[in-house]
Chain A
Amino acid sequence: MKQLTKIELEGMLPDYIFGKLSPEEIEIFEFNVDNFPDLVQDVKDAKELFSRIDATEFEHIISKKTRNTSVKVRNRMSRKKQVKFGKLQLFTRFVLPVAAVLAIFVYTIFVQQTNKDINTKPNLISEKIDSEEIRELISENEDFDILDMNFTTLTNEDAIYESQSDFIKQIYFDELLNNYDQILNYLNSKITYTSTKTLLLSSIDEDEFQDILKELENVGKIF
């Protein structure tokens, strides 16, 4: 008769108890198991327990729980079919909201970027007109008391406008008049060649031209 190790016998023990071994295997098992009293005890304990437990009874209990499963599955499947989205529903329920969210997101990013650009834009006046230059211009003006000015604030556009906005305007107009011919030529070229809808100098009649001259004279009187 074939000799078996304890591990081999342990591997066969459950199938021996549940009657899954062939007659030959049963004979070999019973021949060898007597060499291991603890295994004999295990066989006895397991047989006692499983004689009280009937696997078919367990199956019966489970069957009670699952008796309507096929109906439930069929109902659930038909419900899921109904819930399936058509193309239009898919578009209105998912694509549109996603597109809207994306648009809001892109717009928000764009606005933030624009604000950032505005905030970081250089101060044009303070860049173009050096504080020393302004100081010289102010000192040349007799109507202005230089002692009242704090020059450290002149690089700040707001400070300049708050304190001496009229004076700054005067500087700009002076510059405008000094370069009057150049500006007029520039405007003339632009108006003549780029825009047909705006006023054309060539189309101005005599009366209108006289009115413009009067306006220019009035402007000259101011300064």
Chain B
Amino acid sequence: MGIAVLANTAYNETIGTLSQIDSERFSNQFVNEHKNFVYATALRYIKDYDDADDITQEVFIKALNSWSKFEHKSSVKTWLYKITVNMCLNYQKRSKFLTFFSKMDNETISSIKYDEHNAQENMESNEVFKRFNEELAKLPEKQRETFALRYFHELSYNEISELLGTSVGGLKANYFQAVKKLAGNLKDIR
């Protein structure tokens, strides 16, 4: 059975009805199709590469385990997005709680993580990517998410509206503001 056929079959069935081998194939195909979307979303919220990777894995485990409960009322992407954002928010709460008890400053943690990452990024010559991500992270959440979902993940305004709970008109305004701010703040790489 070809992967594409399998995917079509699997998307209409529950993962529990597939054989062990088919189930593994479906899992791989499902993860490979959406991993960049989930990882990029987690990275925007968590701002740490290792933690975003960890959350990405947890998102897929949760999604695959609860595949039978997915009612296909929304697209798989919007479903995954909701799981990812929920997990990221829980992670942030947990981090704040742990930081409070370990008396560590949040900024210290993020600067350490960024420093570790800087070396890797410089090696990869991704300065533009890094600068862009930094500026993107500074935007208000609605503007940042609207921009990322539309620009990077090419979701329709209706899908984004469903995810963020904002009207299409409001989304367009957010999108414009995000583009304008990024253009203003990234003059050094223009």
Which A residues lie at the B interface, using CB under 8 A?
7, 10-14, 17-18, 42, 45-46, 48-49, 52-53, 55, 57-59, 61-66, 69-70, 72-74, 76-77, 80
Q: Of the candidates B24, B43, B53, B128, which one forms a contact with A53 in the assembled complex, judged by CB atoms under 8 Å apart?
A: B128
Contact A74–B28 (Cβ < 8 Å): yes
Closest to B30 in A: A70
Q: How far is the CB of A55 from chain B (nearest CB, A)?
A: 6
Which B residues lie at the A interface, using CB under 8 A?
24, 27-28, 31-32, 35-36, 39-40, 43, 49, 52-53, 56-57, 60-61, 64, 124, 126, 128-129, 132, 147, 150-152, 169, 172-173, 175-176, 178-180, 182-184, 186, 189-190
Contact A62–B40 (Cβ < 8 Å): yes
Contact A61–B129 (Cβ < 8 Å): yes
A13 to B43, CA, bound (A): 27
Contact B184–A73 (Cβ < 8 Å): no
A127 to B170, CA, bound (A): 84
Secondary structure type dominating chain B contacts: helix
* Chain A residues within 8 Å of B61, by CB: 73, 76-77, 80
* Chain A residues within 8 Å of B43, by CB: 62
Q: Of the candidates A11, A65, A70, which one forms a contact with B27 in the assembled complex, judged by CB atoms under 8 Å apart?
A: A70
Contact B172–A18 (Cβ < 8 Å): no
* Chain B residues within 8 Å of A69, by CB: 31-32, 35, 39, 53, 56-57, 60
Contact A49–B152 (Cβ < 8 Å): no
Q: Of the candidates B24, B35, B53, B176, which one forms a contact with A13 in the assembled complex, judged by CB atoms under 8 Å apart?
A: B176
* Chain B residues within 8 Å of A59, by CB: 36, 152
Q: How far is the CB of A57 from chain B (nearest CB, A)?
A: 7
Secondary structure type dominating chain A contacts: helix
Contact A73–B60 (Cβ < 8 Å): yes
Closest to B52 in A: A65
Closest to B168 in A: A11
For the complex of A and B, the 3 pairs showing the least CB-CB separation, nearest first, are: A11-B172, A45-B183, A70-B31
Q: Of the candidates B31, B151, B179, which one forms a contact with A55 in the assembled complex, judged by CB atoms under 8 Å apart?
A: B151
Contact B186–A70 (Cβ < 8 Å): no
Known: A65-B49, A74-B24. A55 touches B126 (CB 8 A): no
* Chain A residues within 8 Å of B189, by CB: 49, 52
Contact A63–B175 (Cβ < 8 Å): no
Q: Of the candidates A14, A55, A64, A73, which one forms a contact with B175 in the assembled complex, judged by CB atoms under 8 Å apart?
A: A14
Q: How far is the CB of A9 from chain B (nearest CB, A)?
A: 9
Q: How far is the CB of B81 from chain A (nearest CB, A)?
A: 15
A46 to B39, CA, bound (A): 26
* Chain B residues within 8 Å of A10, by CB: 172-173, 176
Q: How far is the CB of A75 from chain B (nearest CB, A)?
A: 9
Q: How far is the CB of A18 from chain B (nearest CB, A)?
A: 7
A88 to B188, CA, bound (A): 64
Q: How far is the CB of A194 from chain B (nearest CB, A)?
A: 65
* Chain B residues within 8 Å of A55, by CB: 151-152
Known: A14-B150, A59-B152, A61-B129. A45 touches B190 (CB 8 A): yes
Contact B53–A66 (Cβ < 8 Å): yes
* Chain A residues within 8 Å of B176, by CB: 10-11, 13-14
Contact A52–B190 (Cβ < 8 Å): yes
Closest to A47 in B: B183
Known: A10-B176, A49-B186, A58-B129. A74 touches B27 (CB 8 A): yes
Known: A45-B183, A70-B32, A74-B27. 5 other contacts (CB 8 A): A11-B176, A12-B172, A14-B175, A72-B53, A77-B27
